[in-house]
Amino acid sequence: MARIQTRKGKKRTTYTATVRMKGFPVFARTFDTKGEAKIWAADVEKEMRAGRFQDTRPAEKITLAEAIERYLEHVSSQKRPNSDHRDRIAAKAILEKFGQEISLTEVSSQRLANYRDSRMKQVTPSTIQKEFALLSHLFNVARREWGLPIINPVSEISKPKIKNGRTRFLTSEEAQKLLDAAMTSRNKKLYHYLLLLMHTGMRPSEAAGLTWENINLDARLVKLYVTKTDMRCVPLTQKAAETLQSIRPEDALGSTRVFLPNDSNLTMLLKNRPNLYFRKAYDTVRKKVGLEDVHLHDLRHTAASHLLMAGADLRTLAEILGHKTLQMVLRYTHLLNDHKLKAVDRINSLGVSNHTPSEPQD
């Protein structure tokens, strides 16, 4: 049987659970609440009886702060700059809450649930999802690659749901108004940039960061190496290819940037988030034409929506947009309701005669 000892300190009271079972060494762990201590002890005894118990003491010697530091150095640093930056922001928030001394094994599902509930009062569900994604991957890496006998507590709790209801996209008339205004912008490449977003569905940072080596105008393809997911090829409409051809310098090298200045002093912020180069100019033109609710990313939605309405299938759309699964593109299917009605109207007369049925005779 487990033994629970209460230790009253000057600042807090802790509870130490000690498990003794024949054939196993003595195991003990300290918790903030008696309930947590009892649950841990019961789980350990259960695993021992079932022959599934693992000695987690190697993981107990590693703090969460040490694990996060190792993860950022060896895992996050290998990601693209935006993802690395996002991981570091999430790590800072996590450590501010959990502190520097807590061990990996002390990061329980109960503590994570409390963290989730308190964070919900401060940030959006999307932010919490990113923080939990970092923690979840950290625990999986620790178990699979670092050889630590540890479970992933993130998998045991529910995550806040993200409302992906926003699918604002431009009508053909709105798109024309925006592009016409962009042609008058002081940023001479804004028009070409916006048209490329509308005609390809690329993410704003993907398009803004292009170099000419990414683009094959003869094949009408853009090969994206630096993406949020995997490398992919994006087809160009004839108009998109023409607009790129119109701004291609005769002496352009492969490494020459398509939109950003070819300046060795380009700031790290623009290198990591190249779409910021167009933010001020874009804000000006969208306000000018009364489209203040349209963000740059909505031009990606615009491309996706019009591709679907033009008859593109979901699998092709997912490949163009760079989604690994169909789940993300399913958000656009509600836009097809009118098209579905028109489709079923084509069989409106199926099996129906042209004359009015006669009244039944007595």
Q: Where exactly are the structural domains of the chain?
A: 3-53, 58-156, 172-342
29 beta partners: 17
Helices first, then strands: H and E counts in the chain: 15, 6
State the CATH architecture for 172-342: Orthogonal Bundle (1.10)
* Vertex 211 angle, CA 272 and 176, to 5°: 90
Q: What is the DSSP secondary-structure string of 16-85?
A: EEEE--TTS--EEEEESSHHHHHHHHHHHHHHHHHT-----HHHHTSBHHHHHHHHHHHTGGGS-HHHHH
Name the burial class of residue 135, with classes exposed (0-12), middle (13-18) and buried (19+) by CB atoms within 10 angstroms of its CB. Answer: buried
180 is written with which tokens? 């016409």
The torsion defined by the Cα of 269, 66, 95 and 58, in degrees rounded to 10, comes to 150
- What predicted TM-score, i.e. pTM, was given to this entire model? 0.63
Task: Note the pLDDT of residue 258.
Answer: 93
Q: What is the CATH number of domain 58-156?
A: 1.10.150
Would you write out the chain's pLDDT as a tens digit for each of its 362 residues? 688 999 888 888 999 999 988 888 788 888 889 998 899 889 888 888 887 777 677 777 889 999 999 999 999 988 877 788 889 999 999 999 998 889 888 898 889 999 999 999 999 888 999 999 999 999 999 989 998 888 899 998 998 887 655 578 898 999 999 999 999 999 999 999 999 999 999 999 999 999 999 999 999 999 988 666 668 899 999 999 999 999 998 888 888 899 998 776 677 778 778 899 999 999 999 999 999 889 998 998 899 888 888 888 888 888 888 887 777 777 777 666 666 777 788 787 787 766 655 565 65
Whole-angstrom distance, CA of residue 324 vs CA of residue 108: 31
Whole-angstrom distance, CA of residue 104 vs CA of residue 107: 6
Whole-angstrom distance, CA of residue 32 vs CA of residue 165: 40
The pair phi, psi for residue 300, each rounded to 5°, is: -70, -45
Whole-angstrom distance, CA of residue 111 vs CA of residue 98: 9
Cβ-based neighbours of 58, under 8 Å, separated by 6 or more:
148, 149
Task: Note the pLDDT of residue 358.
Answer: 59
Whole-angstrom distance, CA of residue 214 vs CA of residue 207: 10
The 3-state secondary structure of 69-126 reads HHHHHHCHHHCCHHHHHHHHHHHHHHHHHHCCCCEHHHCCHHHHHHHHHHHCCCCCHH
Residue (of 197, 309, 210) closest to 252 by Cα position: 210
Q: Report the side by side order of strands in the sheet with 221-224.
A: 215-216, 221-224, 232-235
